[in-house]
Amino acid sequence: MDVVVERSSAQDDPARSEEAVKVETVGYEETWRNQDLKNENLVLTAPARRDGTVTALGRQKITTTAGGTGTITFTSRSGLAEVETSLANANANGEICTMGGRLFGLALGAAGSTLNASTYSGAKVTIERSPLGFDNWTDITDTIAAGGTTVTGEVRITLVANDGSVIRDSLYNNTDEYRITKVTDTNFTIQSVAASTEAIQVQSEVAASKTFEHRSTSGITVTNDATTFFEVNSNTLKGATAEFRHNGRTGALTGNIASVESSVKSSYGTEKKPVTDIEVEIFNTQSNTWEKLALGSTDGNSVDILDTTEKFRITTTYGEDKKIRDTISNNTGGRFTVTKTQFGASLDMKTGTDAQKSSTQLHVESEDLIAVNIHFGTSSQKEDHYDTEITMATAKSLGVGQEAGDNILTQQNAKKALENIMLAINKKDKIRAEIGSTQNRLAATVEVGSIQKENLQASESRISDVNVATEMTTFNKQQILANAAVSMLAQANNLPKLAQKLLG
């Protein structure tokens, strides 16, 4: 039963505003990042005005003239935080950093700088505070009251939007206080209590997100929701990169991945190809052994795999000697359920209050197995034979050749074919190692049998190689002694009769 070649592909989610995009592909290796970057928005009122374009350092030149009171309304990249800063009424030339609103060469007016009422609402909101700059952040979300809580120091708000996008605004340089109000568990508002004597700054960061679906060679599907580390954005200035890589063959995610939510789903057996036997095992890291779980044979029976299980496997049998084994590993906190169905079984994540995905990317290895029975006994008892499984090594099951879709019609396809060959070599080496392990076990069994045979022959020799001549001499000696004793006894019995004759 040859299985198909594994593939991994990105799933488009147009609703996600911070959806990562693919910027490069080399063979199966894809590079993804947040490409559609937004800019912070500046609105100036007279007499303040722009002077030229934004510099390479991300600064906008500002000129003020006499007459009137000028202000700068700065809206962060997230579009959620709005800071209004008044400028002194004087002829001045300066700059504002479009990364966060910092002023250079410009004096604040009497109205100072204030954070207008800003709302953060979505799937999840986390509020942190640091009294000493950008260090020692403490989660204060649970301390925010519905009636409002006054907070001093630097404030950082992380918003997971309803579309899955993740944005973080850091507010700092405020000489006064903030008033944060809890509307609901996922809806908070924040604003200045009084004007700051320094320009309030807001740094917006974004994390690129993307969902990938990896389908293994047996058809098991792993869904990975990946989110990168935050990336500071403001025009041409970048902070930590939101770039990462994805392998279109193996599904591996590498690079600046901050978090992954990984889930798995599969169905075993159909009406035309029903499963004749299914075995569920978990790996015991303490004893370094596989332990079988009892699923039962009744439709609807299920067995749960706990979040403490790092690795488990499902082996399904189709017919007499055709098997497929899926090994799921690298689980951290994921909870799974295997359920018996009419034609086989299903694998899925736990649902309801117990639902929990793995916080690390799940790895799946699918093997197409051939059962081999090695008979070495004299009867048909269980101990007279040894069962083992060998992974198939056809071109298609190894993922190479035309059956696997390889061709060299383009440079990209040629690179993919080379990667497939390297993966096939690694898989072939693993198969050889498994066969070698089986050979070693059989060789050890043969060696034990040979030792037992030698011991039996030695025992038989000690019995059969007795010195017959010595034993016959000893036997004759004992027989002569026995005959002499009998003769002497007979003579002793005749002595009374002889005495009687002499007297008579």
Q: Which of 71-75, 322-326, 443-447 has the lowest mean pLDDT?
A: 443-447
Cα atoms in the Cβ-side hemisphere of radius 13 Å centred on 424:
19
Across 296-307, average pLDDT: 92
Name the one residue in this structure whose structure tokens are 């990984």.
262
pLDDT confidence tier of residue 387, bands split at 50, 70 and 90:
low
pLDDT exceeds 70 at position 439:
yes
The fraction of the chain above a pLDDT of 90, given in percent, is: 31
* Pairwise CA distance, residues 174 & 153, whole Å: 7
Please report the DSSP string for 334-376 in residue order: --EEEEE-SSSEEEEE--GGG---BSS--EEEEEEEEEEEEE-
User: What is the residue-averaged pLDDT of the chain?
Assistant: 83
Most confident of 32-46, 215-229, 347-361: 347-361
More confident residue, 89 or 33: 33
CA distance to 177, 351, 390, 437, per residue, from 324 (Å)? 63, 26, 11, 20
Distance CA 285, CA 329 (A): 12
Q: Across residues 139-151, what is the average pLDDT?
A: 95
For residue 465, give both structure tokens. Answer: 């190689």
- With pLDDT > 70 as the criterion, what percentage of the chain qualifies? 85
**Residue 214, phi then psi, degrees to nearest 5:** -105, 125
Q: What is the mean pLDDT of residues 234-244?
A: 54
| Neighbouring C-beta atoms of residue 136, cutoff 10 Å | 12
What residues are paired with 22 via a beta bridge? 32
pLDDT band at 457 (very low <50, low <70, confident <90, very high): confident
Q: Is the pLDDT of residue 393 over 80?
A: no
Q: Could you tell me whether strands 289-293 and 257-268 are parallel, antiparallel, or unpaired per DSSP bridges?
A: unpaired
CA distance 214 to 223: 6
Instruction: Categorize the per-residue pLDDT at 137 as very low, low, confident or very high, splitting at 50, 70 and 90.
Output: confident
1 has a pLDDT exceeding 50 = no
Residue 292: its pLDDT value, please?
A: 93
Q: What is the pLDDT of residues 181-225, one digit of tens each?
A: 999 999 999 999 999 999 999 988 888 888 999 988 788 999 999
Nearest Cα neighbor of 195 from 115, 270, 290 is 115
DSSP assignment of 407-430 equals: --SSHHHHHHHHHHHHHHHHHHHH
Ranking 118-122, 291-295, 485-489 by mean pLDDT, the lowest is: 485-489
